[in-house]
Structure 1
Amino acid sequence: MTLRGVMLILLPVCCLLSGGSRAATLGGLGDTILGPKTFLGVSNFSTFLLDRSTGMLFLGARDAILAVDTNKLNERPRKIVWDVPEEKRRSCVAKGKTEVDCNNYIRLLEFLGDGRIYVCGTYAFDPQCAFLELSSFTLEKAEDGGVKMETGKGKCPFEPSQHYTAVMAGGTLYTAATSNFLGTLFDISRATGPEQGRIRTERSINWLSDPEFVSSAFIEEAPDNNPTGDDDKIYFFFTEVAKEYDLYTKVKVPRVARVCKSDVGGMKTLQRRWTTFLKAQLVCEDKPSGQRYNILTDVFTTQHTPGDPSSTHFYGLFTSQWEREEMSAVCVFSLSDISKVLDGPFKELKKTCETWINPEPVPTPRPGQCLNNALKADGFESSLKLPDKVLTFVRDHPLMENSVTAAPLLVRKGVRYTKLAVTLTGSGDERRGAVLHLGTDRGELHWVAVVGQNATLLQEIPLFTSQEPINNILLHQGRALVGSPLSLARVQAEGCALYMGCEVCARARGLGCEWSTEEKACRSTTAEPGPGDVVDDALRKCHTEEGRCTPSIRELRVSLGLRLLLPCVQLSPRPCGWDHPPDRHTRQHHSDLEVTVTMDSLGKYICTCQEAGPGIRDPTPCRRAAYQLTLEDPSAGGTIASAGGRHVLAIYILFFFCGFLLGVFLLYFVTRRRSMSRQGRHLPDNSLSSEKGRDLLGSSATPQSPSSASLMSEGFRLTEKRNGTTTSTTTTTLLSNQGNGGPHGNSYSGTLINSNPSNGHGNSLYGNLNTSSSGLKFTSEILAADLLDGRTGERERVRPEGGERESGEGDEVDEGLRDGLGEGMKKLEEELSSFPMFKSPAPLAKCEESSI
């Protein structure tokens, strides 16, 4: 059997195994998932725009715009190509940018209201905008036949990875983006409309200090319930470096900023600048523990009472600058609380003592307020008529003294959420709670029920591969449209029928769900739950002893010296503690417990968290996890726990295939050497430097680069310039078997994603699709691994018919082989160490407590 024959047999088997695993992961969900094959070779989806009247979803991608009918996902998407001319791409590369970045990444899609969509893209670091005709689904053409374009500076970022957000308000575009090639200037601006009305923020660090824009929202006053004649407002959410804290490190704080729709700037002071720009700090903090979450990653805007703008709430997704472990928290802020803070005292830095104080006095009319009936009655029909003292004050004091504070609804350790959407249950005064739809950076969708002050994890659904972070979630007609840079999924998002089992349905009892024993299904109910704990009462009807605060004890059979981590899912922001046998070989990491097994550490381990009880604010203890560590039976020959059995089996299968391949190569090489010995042929002195030698051995004198078509696709490090500073970003390699791999087929095995979470229209997740037409290749180190004897590291040469061992040139060749093989085995060990299954768990670093 030749080497080519072995590869031809094994390659289809490996493809079938991996493809079957993927299908099994996504099957059985009852929902529709579209992969890269469906999208006609288009990737890097970053912007979603949904026409709710027709269900048509528009996706902004790299060099293309797609239209997908969410009601008929089996139909092929419509596609518009809007790429960059080759000459412009070369000019972009000549300026120091990468070829990947020098494409046209569509970052803005907004309806204009006249049957067109306003489209903007990075266009090789020269942002351009165009108009998409919905009736014909084509871009408007210029007189020369090309795409009719206008400058996108101030409307769209220059770089694909830059944080960005935009919102359309009454046909006018408001954006928050960088406005120069280097990415060092930041503007919140009115980007379209009459030229005299295009205004922006002041170029001052007191206004914007190295911000990372997240989201924006247009809040329109109710026309039938606006007695003061207040103006419509636009809110922007971002994270920036705080200037009010004088610390040794840069402290990041989340902000909310507000501008007014009718603002046209000042007459002399603040010409073409906002006169109503005010900002305040958002504080998401659990006061009992003192934990503060200061990095804002996403915001979802919703009205608790549909049609009432005053009932608007903003659900914010946070993480912490100070925590070394991945963590996420959700806080909710009301529009009324934000308005109270923006109407409160201003913050000022007094230059004499470098301390922040409240300024006195505040001029009249109040700086930063929107136009209303009272101001118009006093003769201020426009911001152009405001006095200079008012404009000077608001220019120097954009920050408010008070902060908008909220306690977290949810805290999860070890999970990094990237996107958030919220479904409210009930209506009006009968509002029961909310369901949080949370997307992770590993392609999962989590559902969390929030009732009162308690959060309950309902389900965790894997939608995409672990290398595809979720970067878009849209809710429409009871469904969630979930997107990644490569894929799109449509899943059911509302209704008690989501919860398939009795236990899951019981955990959603606070949302109005109840398990029907006759139908064996979860159904909605209007009956109020009885007194006591809602979830525990519902769980008892499932004939299970396990409740929300009474988990069943899991027995773990362990061996001495084993190091394991006992998980405890913390859904409440309250602290968790462990009761366990007195042993010094334990260490708690947030809510989880690390245990090194000794004879003294065997026994029961119970995790208890502090949660809010029904109808009261005082935290009460709730048991979240229970384990029993038992020493495994030595006569059992190393019993494998069922939880890890599949992983061990997978490792055995991997070693079997590796051994099989090594055996085939060893047989092939020995047979080759014997035939050469019989014919009396010997390698020359310089055989190790010949072309045949290079094919088999890694030369220590000539470094060799790894093959681009090895077992794992190569990952190229992309360089991200965030706000003008070059930083290293993590590049992950997607392994997929889509594409035929032929010379004319697109292969997605080389798809690279640069993950840089952002929100609004700034989901800057993009990658590079490499076309590969070659098959799998093994590196020379693996080929040479068969030549070593297991005991001495040397290979016995085949003796000639005379029975005496050859010497001279053969010995020199063997020495060269051993040198090359030693180098090859060292490289093989380095390659194997990069696989997760061969890595030993890294020691966990001690957490450092920091506070603002």
Structure 2
Amino acid sequence: MKAAACLNAGVLLLCFLLSSWAATLNGYGGSHDVLGSRQLGGVSNFSTFLLDRSTGTLYLGAQDAILAINTSNLGQKPLKIKWDVPEDKRKSCVAKGKTEADCKNYIRLLQFLGDGRIYACGTYAFDPQCAFLNMSSFSLETAEEGGVRMETGKGKCPFEPSQHYTAVMAGGVLYTAATSNFLGTLFDISRATGIEQERIRTERSINWLSDPEFVSSAFIQEDEANNPTGEDDKIYFFFTEVAKEYDLYTKVKVPRVARVCKSDVGGMKTLQRRWTTFLKAQLVCEDRASGQRFNVLTDVFTSRHRLDDPSSTHFYGIFTSQWDREETSAVCVYSLADISKVMDGPFKELKKTCENWINPEPVPTPRPGQCLNSALKSEGFDSSLKLPDKVLTFMRDHPLMENSVVSAPLLVRRGITYTKLAVTLTSISDDDKRTAVVLHLGTDRGELHRVAVVGQNATLLEEIPLFPSHDPVNNILLYKDVALVGSPSSLVRQPAVGCALYPTCEVCARARGLGCAWNPKEQACDGVGNELGDEELGDPLSQCKSGEGRCSPTVKEVSVMKGLRVLLPCVQVSPRACSWEHPPHRHTRQRLSDLEVLASEETEGKYVCLCQEGGREQPACRRAEYHLTLAGASMGGTVALAGGPGRHFLAWYVLLFVVGMLAGAAAILCLLLRHRRASGKGAGHGASLSEKHHDLLPSSATPQSPSSASLLSEAVPLTKRNGTLNGHGGGGHNGGGHNHHHGGGINGPHIYSNNSSSSGEVKLSESSAKLTQHQQGLEGRERPGPEGEEGEGLSEGALGDGRGPVGPGGGAGQTAGVPRSTAGTVKLQL
């Protein structure tokens, strides 16, 4: 019994150590800048953020609840309102074929009414309902008969928790883009509140809306003091829909921007209770160098570049492509002036004969879709009800514009899916003529990326893992130099601007475009870049004690066995693409920025990685250079090399092994002590105890170290992303530069710098060339080849029979203590 007690105590100690270390490692618990489900009272499924900038109170819409959080003190207990669905209504929802999880009340809308109240709407078990929240008492208004005072939310809030939806408040009136029926087959852009006679919506026509996925909306209010033409206020909606103008064998999605006017009240006969000013245009986000278009819009952030000038509004959008097999994200920006120019241009003629497009109809007067202004009012058209019927008929049949709003991507990232975007503007000159843009990008794997854009140059500054990999970023709010980042289950507060964000000389040099420069006396990054010119500072990296030039890496000799695959790393510090120069053969495949090569006589030679970092007009930067040669006899097997990704992943195994050995030793010690106390009772008893020892730890079953091939082959699968390895189970991340840990653990941010000798850069050592001990155990074992994007004509057959990549300096075999991924590669530590 004592031995069992000791063993239990050892197991409990092991569990405690692991849980404590994991909590510290992940940085989720104990920090006042992080709120998880425990700190938020068990509430989850946060989908809506609303910030009161006058008080700093953040209102969160969640499942069956609304929370109020003091953003200046996240340690303060949040206020909570419970708003759930009655049991009978929930059962009725389930009886209609919906799931238990969906038949709850998900708060999807929170908007200020301007009178001290918040308008809140929830799905309410597929029967949307809205209520009024009193901000001073933080309570929902009650009806006379008791219970929450509610009104229908149809057309204001989606029926289903996961449906795409957007809404904006304009002058106390709610404008929404949402589904309007239980089945989710009808879509409306509507004025959802206000005077009943003025509640209008889009026409039920596929020419107006064709299976749209609504993304965002914005209210652009004219400046009363500077509006000489008397232009009406406008509301813009952004969405992706199936294009009807493309007659192809498959559905083609296109991103759109639509515009309606605030004073529009519909037509007198034609378009009654319908928009008379609804116009839409296609958004084009095209990389001119490659000709690739990104046709799926996922998020839009509205930013006014000059606070006192509504015409300076710009819209930053995240795009993906429906045609790409791998994850790809791009960011494009559109100005309000460019959108207005397209809206004032020619209309697209959608009517078509059997063979040829017919001539477009003449545009009537006054121009269809035009918002009211002083000129129209002087002609007697002071209301949309007075517009001629021919104008309304033309408007009904021609909602789409002929021209598109075109933009080139600020950045393109492969291997990453961005979900949310926020933008800060930084002046880098005293006269405000030069402005830098900092993009705060949330990913579908719980990370926050920051990218600085100055002119044509985009620089990736840092990558910060905030949430577990299964928790996507779904909200980013910027407030007082702080970024409030949310996921469905957590909230994190992060610094948003300032040169102090960049703790190393290299990454501070990368932020030079933001006016940052490294202060060698203080060993800190500050804003002296605003005061000194480029001539005075020279090359910002010259102050950093780097062993190599910025774009002049040393040539690394790579000697490998014939028939093995080599993974040549290239650290990508800019969102722009990287390419490789190599001997003319087809046995290569580019995996993100790295290059995979099949070692043979044809593949010997020089390999150079070139990355676009200084803008389209600047020459490419040489980020890595290798010289590949063959060494020794031909051997099989799969070995890959990278410059450190997976170190934290391996640390898990090392820690588990050490703690496990300690716990096992404690248990054995307890058994030995018991054995000594019982040794005087007879040899027979001692022999029995020896048999027990033999059963507990037979000589042929010693604990396996992390270098064991069998242990590693059954480890948590690794996935390669952006030149790094990540564990599926939320393992550690390692960036391409200096790590600045967040919360004290491995989930710290990845700081990227131009210094090619940073920690993310690959450094070859003599020990990495001796990789022969474990090769025989790898031979004959079939493993799938690595997954990656298709390279330069490389087919699976060209890679050999299950042979995998080897890294620079590596030979055949496997180094002890190296985890192997399920893709058939082994990442070697350097």
Specify whether residues 115 and 164 from structure 1 end up closer, same or farther in structure 2 by C-alpha distance, changes over 3 A only.
same
Amino acid at match of 2:622: R
Deviates more, 1:648-657 or 1:438-447: 648-657
Cα distance change on mapping 1:46 and 1:323 into 2, 3 Å: same
* Counterpart residue identity of residue 100, structure 1: A
What's 1:330 paired with? 331
- Aligned-residue offset at 1:546: 4.8
Shift of 1:359: 1.7
Cα 1:531/1:413, change in 2 over 3 Å: farther
| Matched residue SS, 2:225 | coil
Deviation at 1:622, TM superposition (A): 2.5
Query: Which residue identity lines up with residue 152 of structure 2 in the other structure?
Result: T
Local SS of the residue matching 1:203: coil
Alignment of 1:415-494 (within 5 A): 415-426=416-427, 429-494=432-497
Q: CA deviation at 1:227?
A: 0.6
Q: CA deviation at 1:249?
A: 1.1
Closer/same/farther in 2, CA of residues 227 and 99 from structure 1, 3 Å limit: same
Residues 183 and 558 (structure 1 numbering): CA distance in 2 closer, same or farther, change over 3 Å? Answer: farther
- Deviations for 1:202-249, whole angstroms, at most 9, x for unmatched residues? 011000000000000000001111111010000000000011111111
Which residue identity lines up with residue 229 of structure 2 in the other structure? T
1:99 pairs with 2:138: no
Q: Does 1:319 align with 2:317?
A: no
Q: 1:518 aligns with which of 507, 518, 521?
A: 521
For 1:554 and 1:106, how far apart are their aligned partners in 2?
Answer: 56
Q: Does 1:579 align with 2:581?
A: yes
Tell me, in whole angstroms, the C-alpha distance in 2 between the residues paired with 1:398 and 1:245.
16
| Distance of 2:512 and 2:389 partners within structure 1 | 59
Q: Secondary structure at 2:208's aligned position in 1? A: coil
Unpaired segments of 5 or more residues in structure 2? 634-638, 672-684, 689-714, 717-726, 732-817, 826-830
CA distance in 2, matches of 1:302, 1:29: 34
Instruction: List runs of 5+ in structure 1 lacking aligned partners.
Output: 669-674, 679-710, 713-731, 737-835, 844-852
TM-score by structure 2 length? 0.75
TM-score by length of 1: 0.73
Partner residue in 1 for 2:541: 539
2:331 maps to a residue whose letter is V
Structure 1 equivalent of residue 823 of structure 2: 841
1:790 corresponds in structure 2 to: none
Q: Residues 684-711 of structure 1, C-alpha deviation per residue, up to 9 Å, x if partnerless? A: xxxxxxxxxxxxxxxxxxxxxxxxxxx9
Deviations 1:279-327 (A, max 9, x none): 0000000112101111111111011111210000001111111111101
Residue 236 of structure 1 aligns with an amino acid whose one-letter code is F
Summarize the Cα distance change of 1:453–1:551 in structure 2 as closer, same or farther, 3 Å threshold: farther
Question: In structure 1, what is the equivalent of residue 45 of structure 2?
Answer: 44
| C-alpha separation in 1, matches of 2:640 and 2:121 | 60
Show the counterpart of 1:135.
136
Q: 1:841 is aligned with what amino acid?
A: A
- Kindly provide the CA deviation profile for residues 477-532 of structure 1, in whole angstroms up to 9, marking residues without a partner as x: 01100011111111111111111111111111111111111111111122353259
> 1:76 — aligned with what?
77
Q: CA deviation at 1:329?
A: 0.6
Q: What letter corresponds to residue 339 of structure 1 in structure 2?
A: S
Which of 528, 531, 540 pairs up with 1:527? 531
Deviates more, 1:344-353 or 1:176-185: 344-353
Paired with 1:454 and 1:412, the residues of 2 have a C-alpha distance of 14
Verify: 1:290 aligned to 2:272, yes or no: no
Question: Could you say if the C-alpha distance between residues 470 and 379 of structure 1 is closer, same or farther in structure 2, counting changes exceeding 3 Å?
Answer: same
- Cα distance, 1:4–1:597 mapped onto 2, change above 3 Å: farther
User: Does structure 2 retain, via aligned residues, the 8 Å contact 1:280–1:400?
Assistant: yes
Give the 5 Å matches for 1:195-594. 195-353=196-354, 359-426=360-427, 429-525=432-528, 526-530=530-534, 537-546=539-548, 549-550=551-552, 561-562=564-565, 564=567, 566-567=569-570, 569=572, 571=574, 576-581=578-583, 584-589=586-591, 591-594=593-596
CA contact (8 A) 2:32 2:75 kept: no
Partner Cα distance (2:226, 2:122) in 1:
39
* Deviation at residue 11 of structure 1 after TM alignment: 5.5
Q: Give the Cα–Cα distance (whole angstroms) in 2 for the partners of residues 4 and 292 of structure 1.
A: 65
Q: CA contact under 8 A between 1:294 and 1:320: conserved in structure 2?
A: yes
Distance 1:837-1:611 versus aligned 2 partners, 3 A rule: closer
In 1, the alpha carbon distance for the partners of 2:314 and 2:550 equals 29
Change (3 A) 1:474 1:632: farther
Q: Distance in 2 between matches of 1:358 and 1:657?
A: 79
Greater Cα shift, 28-37 or 288-297? 28-37
Query: Any idea what the Cα deviations from partners look like across 1:64-104, whole Å, max 9, x if unmatched?
Result: 01000001111110100000111111111110000000110
Contact 1:347-1:356 at 8 Å conserved across structures:
no
Q: Does the CA-based 8 Å contact 1:454-1:572 persist in structure 2?
A: no
| 1:748 paired residue number | none
**TM-superposition CA deviations, 1:15-39 (whole Å, max 9, x none):** 5324423423438999811222100
Change (3 A) 1:70 1:396: same
- Shift, 1:553, TM fit: 6.0
1:110 maps to what in 2?
A: 111
Partner of residue 174, structure 2: 173
Paired residue type of 1:529: G
Q: Give the SS at the match of 1:349.
A: coil
Tell me the residue number matched to 2:722. none
Letter in 1 for 2:177: A
- Equivalent residues in 2 for 1:726-765, closer than 5 Å: none
Once the two structures are superposed, what CA deviation does each residue of 1:779-800 show, in whole Å capped at 9, x if it has no partner? Answer: xxxxxxxxxxxxxxxxxxxxxx
Contact 1:413 1:591 in 2 (8 A): no
Contact 2:242 2:251 in 1 (8 A): yes
Q: 1:371 to 1:355 in 2, by over 3 A?
A: farther
Indicate conservation of the 8 Å contact 2:304/2:313, yes or no. yes
Mark the CA change 1:59 to 1:421 in structure 2 (over 3 Å): closer, same or farther. Answer: same
Match of residue 610, structure 2, among 603, 608, 611: 608
Per the alignment, residue 774 of structure 1 pairs with none
**In the aligned structure 2, how far is the partner of 1:352 from the partner of 1:176?**
32
Cα gap change, 1:549 to 1:404, in 2 (>3 Å): farther
Once the two structures are superposed, residues 426-448 of structure 1 have per-residue CA deviations (whole angstroms, 9 ceiling, x without a partner) of: 17643331111111111111111
How far apart are the structure 2 equivalents of 1:443 and 1:63? Answer: 24
Q: SS state of the match for residue 606, structure 1?
A: strand
Give the counterpart letter for 2:544 in structure 1.
C
Q: Is the 8 A contact 1:199 1:265 kept in 2?
A: yes
| Counterpart for residue 191 of structure 1 | 192
Using the alignment, how far apart are the partners of 1:15 and 1:370 within structure 2? 66
Q: SS of 1:307's equivalent?
A: coil
Q: Is the 8 A contact 1:570 1:591 kept in 2?
A: no
Give the drift of 1:612.
5.5
Q: Are the counterparts in 2 of residues 425 and 432 from structure 1 also a CA contact under 8 Å? A: yes
Provide the residue aligned with 1:722 in structure 2. none
Task: Give the equivalent residue in structure 2 for 1:60.
Answer: 61
* Identity level (%): 67
Contact map agreement 2:567 2:594 (CA 8 A) in 1: no
CA contact (8 A) 2:14 2:659 kept: no
Secondary structure of residue in 2 paired with 1:384: helix
1:192 & 1:451 partners in 2: Cα distance? 42
**Contact persistence 1:230–1:371 (CA under 8 A):** yes
Distance in 2 of aligned mates of 1:600 and 1:577: 20
**Contact 1:283-1:294 at 8 Å conserved across structures:** yes
Contact residue 319 and residue 329 of structure 2 kept, 8 A: yes
Does the 8 Å contact 1:557/1:641 carry over to 2? no
Counterpart-to-counterpart distance in 1, 2:211 and 2:159: 16
How well do the aligned residues superpose, as a CA RMSD in angstroms? Answer: 3.6
- 1:405–1:83: structure 2 CA closer, same or farther, 3 Å change rule? same
The one-letter code matched in structure 1 to 2:517 is E
- The Cα shift of 1:170 comes to 0.5
Q: CA deviation at 1:463?
A: 1.2
Is the aligned partner of 1:623 residue 2:622?
Answer: yes
What is the count of residue pairs matched by the alignment? 675
Tell me which moved more, 555-564 or 109-118.
Answer: 555-564
Q: Distance in 1 between matches of 2:13 and 2:110?
A: 42
CA distance in 2, matches of 1:395, 1:222: 30
